[in-house]
Amino acid sequence: MALIDSFGRRIDYLRISITDHCNLKCGYCMPVFSGRPHLNHVEILTYEELYRLAEAAVCAGISKIRITGGEPLVRKGMVEFCNMLGSLPGLNSLALSTNGVQMAKMADSLKAAGVNRVNVSLDTLQRKRFEKITGCDKLEDVLAGIQEADAVGFHPVKINVVVIRGVNDDEIAQLAALTYQHEWHVRFIELMPFQQALFGDYQDLYMPIGAIIKRIPHIKEAHVGPGLATNGPARMCTLPGANGKIGFIAPMSWHFCGSCNRLRLTADGKIRTCLFAETEIDVKTPLRAGASKRELVELFYDAAQAKPRRHHLSRVLRPNPRQRAMHAIGG
C-alpha cells in the first residue's frame, strides 16, 4: 500500500523519537536557555504504544523507520524495542541516529536486534572543542562508538557534522579526510534556525553549503553540484582516492522538499509533517482512547495529506521562539 501526499510524493519513511532526554547538551539542539522542561513519564509514549503506531504506519505505506531522540540509547529497553520493530512485517529498514556516547557497548546488541544503519553525530575531532559544543568531555567515547559500529558491521557508518561558523568550520577538511582512512560517509549539515542560544546569533553562525564545499581539498574533482543523484537529503560524492564518501545536507540553501519522503513522530505522540512545521497531529489522545488499528492508519493518511509542499525558511530569519527545540522533535 502506498502513502502518497497531496503533491504526489511517496511517503515511506518515519522518524520515531523515543525520548527528548540526552546525555549531551549540544547548543544547537538543546539550548541551555530554551526554558522548556523535559517531558515527564506520563507524557512519553510507552514502547507498546510506539509499536502500535509503527504498525499502523507500516500498514499505511511506511517501509523505513529511524529511531531518534534526544539520545535514543539513554532510554531503558531501547534494544528490546528495536527487536519488536525488527519483526514488524512490511518494515524493510530500521535505522538509528545517535550521538555515539554509548555506542561502543551497545553496537553488537543493536545489530543483533535488527538495526540496519547507524548515523552518529560528530562535530569536531578536538577534545576541548567537543566539550564546548556538547557540554561534556565524551569525545573518546564517541570515537570508540564509531569504531565499534564499524567493527560489528554497520556499513557504512554515517557521520553527521553540523557546521557552525567560528566554532568548528576550521575542521571541515580534516573531517572530510576521514573518508580516506575509512569507508564512512561524512555528511556536512547546514545549521538550522532552531533555538541557538549557546554560541551566538544564528545569522553569524550559519555557513551555507557552498562555503563549506570550498573548504574541502580536491572537491572539484568529485563533481559535486545541483542535479546529481541524491541519497535521501544528502548529495554524495567521493574524493579522489577515498574509501568512503562525503555528503552535503543543505535544508536552507538547497531545498530538497520536492523529494521529501518523511514524517516524524515525537516522543509525546505528535506527528510532524515537516521538521519546521508549527502544527502537529495528535495521535496519542486517540491511541490512549482506544483507537482501532484502522483509525490509527487513517491518522497517517491524514498526516500525509497535511504535509506542506515545502518549508518557508530562509537564512535571514531568526529562530522561532515558538518552535520546539531539536531534541524535542527528533531531528
Please give the average per-residue pLDDT across 138-145, as a whole number: 98
Element (H, E) at 282: strand 281-282
pLDDT at 35: 52
Determine the Cα–Cα distance for residues 299 and 305; give it in Å rounded to an integer: 10
Neighbours of 15 (CB within 10 A): 21
What average pLDDT does range 11-38 have in this prediction?
A: 81
Q: Which of 289, 249, 30, 233 is nearest to 160 (CA)?
A: 249
Confidence of residue 252 (pLDDT cuts 50, 70, 90): confident
Greater confidence (107 vs 224) lies with 107
Tell me what percent of the residues of the chain surpass a pLDDT of 70. 87
**pLDDT at residue number 228:** 45
Three-state DSSP class for 84? helix
pLDDT of residue 37: 65
Residue 324 has pLDDT above 70, yes or no: no
Task: Identify the weakest region by mean pLDDT among 19-28, 227-236, 247-256, 283-292.
Answer: 227-236
- pLDDT tens column, 174-204: 999 999 999 999 999 999 886 555 677 888 8
Residue 281 has pLDDT above 70, yes or no: yes
Q: Which domains does the chain have, with CATH numbers?
A: 13-328 (3.20.20.70)
Q: At residue 221, does pLDDT exceed 60?
A: yes
CA contacts within 13 A on the Cβ side of 72:
32
Query: Per-residue confidence at 230, pLDDT binned at 50, 70, 90?
Result: very low
With cut-offs at 50, 70 and 90, classify the pLDDT of residue 294: very high
Task: Check residue 201 and give its pLDDT.
Answer: 83
Res 278: pLDDT: 74
110 vs 313: which has the higher pLDDT? 110
Residue 259 confidence (pLDDT): 79
- pLDDT for residue 323 is more than 60: no
Compute the distance between CA of residue 313 and CA of residue 257 in angstroms, rounded to an integer: 12
pLDDT of 257: 80
pTM: predicted TM-score of the whole model, two decimal places: 0.91
The residues that bridge with 65 in the sheet, in sequence order, are 14, 94
Instruction: Yes or no: say if 30 and 89 are a contact pair by the CB < 8 Å rule.
Output: no
Q: Which residue has the higher pLDDT, 233 or 119?
A: 119
CA–CA separation, 109 vs 34, rounded Å? 34
Q: How far is CA 149 from each of CA 92, 157, 184, 291, rounded to the nearest angstrom?
A: 20, 7, 11, 39
Contact present, 260 and 252 (Cβ < 8 Å): no
